[in-house]
Amino acid sequence: MTAVHAAPKQAGRVPGPPRTATMSMLMKMAKDRLTVMSTVSAQYGDAVRLPLGPKTLYFFNHPDHAKHILADNAANYQKGIGLVHARRVLGDGLLTSEGEVWRKQRKVIQPAFQAKRISKQFGVVVEEAMKLVSRLKAHDGGDPVDMREVMTDLSLGVLGRTLLNADLTGFTSLADAFEAVQDQAMFEMMSLNAVPLWFPLPKQRAFHKADEYLQRVVDQLVAERSAKPVGDGDDVLSRLIVSANEEADPKVGRQRLRDELITLLLAGHDTTASTLGWALYLIDKNPHVWERMHAEAVEAFSGGELVYEDLHRLTYTTMVLEEVMRLYPPVWLLPRSAVAEDEIGGYRVPAGADVLICPYTMHRHPAFWPDPDRFDPDRFDPSRTMERPRYAYIPFGGGPRFCVGNNLGMMEATIVLAALAKDLHLSLVPGYEVIAEPMLTLRARGGLPMTVHCVK
């Protein structure tokens, strides 16, 4: 194993702020979690102990650490803080479940994400991307458009057609509902569950309303699909219905179906929408990147409508996306809980400890990323990636819980960015400050207002 920064020869206590810093640490975490994680890793090294009230968080920030937790000793680490709080709505879906429940549901869902099936969805994604371009052209030179909202609507539409074989356009409050869910999960995490869920805070009322709405969405989707013969349907919704019907206890089957469908709706759209939003922001800040993307897209579309075989021609666009996810990984934090005592990087981790891996800081680690804050898609030229540790870059996680939807998400984002770069310039409203908001996903706080200009 590669030597870890500041690791002692014998297992010892992880360094970090004193316990007396608990209140100031809680306040800082509530205000700006990304800065806290970046600051403590710079100050204390690749292993940091963070005192937060009755909890102590163990933050590890080296590729070897991530590999150990996510892959080599993955059986010792269950989902942790934050995701535990999200379980109020997500239940035991693929994102939050453990053990046999997780393995069974992953087996049910996995076939819908196989490469052969994903390739068949290529035309659907292209169609949705071209419809998006047409809608945006109507705003040429006009008032700004919130591209965070636009990308959310797009990704929900693609998810519905490719994975559920369903039309989600009628569920106009899905994005708002999931925002309320994430707000509540972060609130509970940062308040250490000090506020009971029944307390009538506006945030908690919004959460209850969102929870009820999501249940209605699930009920309607299942009822509409169940009214038709499921047959050999290879979409996720059909597979989940069949799996639920095979449960010995119908109540358990209904609950599993509900949990998986809500998890899919959240994770399946929010990560891609966030990545596309950050891509548009960074491309606007780096005009030379747009120029290269535009030239590549014009060439890729030269034969008319894009076909699956054209994906390999969008190599620079793919590199742009990889660099976007380095700087703004859609899942910025991977929380785990240690089942048994362990040793990581020469440090003792007690049983039951809350363990954190932060892709946001890992992807900016100066030992592995020269000039780490600079946007440089050429970092992902194959000639420059050979010597980089595998776990220095983990936008889709790692180990057995590697994101099941990574191929579909990358295909969708690549097609959409190419279609936009071919015909449009998108520019951030002058003076608007874009702030990263770390919720369950990493998004642009308050939206992303951009003006649209057609390429002449």
Domain boundaries, the chain: 19-454
Do residues 398 and 66 touch, judged by C-beta distance below 8 A? yes
Cβ neighbours for 408, distance < 8 A, ≥ 6 positions apart: 113, 118, 121, 162, 163
Cβ neighbours for 67, distance < 8 A, ≥ 6 positions apart: 389, 390, 391, 398
141: closest CA among 404, 426, 368? Answer: 426
Distance CA 311, CA 415 (A): 8
Question: What pLDDT does residue 384 have?
Answer: 86
Q: Which residue has the tokens 């770390």?
A: 438
Assigned CATH topology for domain 19-454: Cytochrome p450 (1.10.630)
**Helical spans, DSSP H, in 91-173:** 99-109, 115-120, 122-137, 147-159
Distance CA 347, CA 13 (A): 6
Question: What pLDDT does residue 11 have?
Answer: 65
Fill in the amino acid letter for 338.
A
Distance CA 85, CA 298 (A): 46
Distance CA 3, CA 6 (A): 9
Distance CA 355, CA 78 (A): 10
Residue 366: how many CA atoms within 13 Å on its side-chain side?
6
Cβ neighbours for 40, distance < 8 A, ≥ 6 positions apart: 16, 17, 48, 50, 59
Question: What pLDDT does residue 230 have?
Answer: 56
pLDDT < 70 regions, the chain: 1-11, 84-85, 190-196, 198, 229-232
Cβ neighbours for 154, distance < 8 A, ≥ 6 positions apart: 128, 129, 132, 273, 276, 416
Do residues 282 and 375 touch, judged by C-beta distance below 8 A? yes
Residue 99: helix, strand or coil by DSSP? helix
What length does the chain have?
Answer: 456
